[in-house]
Amino acid sequence: MEAGRPLGSAPTLREKAATFVVTGLGILPTGGIAPKQATPTIGSAPGSLRPFNDALVAMDASLMDAEKRFGAKVKLLDHPFIGPLNAQQWRRFHRIHAMHHLKQISQRSKSGN
């Protein structure tokens, strides 16, 4: 939004396929390592989810603003692994990604780790 224009590039065939698998089918490949800037540093202390929730609210407000300014189908920004996404695809990606982590948390809590 700061740039005043969408920053999404034209997707390659591989990126189109990856976007379809993740945002279309809801399948998130496992085993990848998150980039350092995307790795949480807060931990699991009480209240640690508050900044996460605040960031989600801010992200959704930015996505709504971008949709109004640029249109619903415009590729707003490139995801580092699956390529350029529009606002709805960004929402869907974050939902699928959050569900992936909830599964991890559930598995770890059952195993005691």
Q: Tell me the domain boundaries of the chain.
A: 52-113
Q: What's residue 3's pLDDT? A: 80
Among candidates 76, 43, 74, which has minimal Cα distance to 59? Answer: 76
Q: How far apart are alpha carbons 41 and 45 in whole angstroms?
A: 11
User: Looking at residue 81, what DSSP letter applies?
Assistant: T
Tell me the pLDDT of the chain (113 aa) as tens digits: 678 889 999 999 999 999 999 999 999 988 777 777 767 666 666 677 788 789 889 999 999 999 999 999 999 999 999 999 999 999 999 999 989 888 877 887 787 65
Question: pTM of this prediction?
Answer: 0.82
Residues near 76 by beta carbon (within 8 Å), at least 6 away in sequence: 6, 7, 8, 63, 66, 70, 84, 85, 86, 87, 90
Q: What's residue 32's pLDDT? A: 75
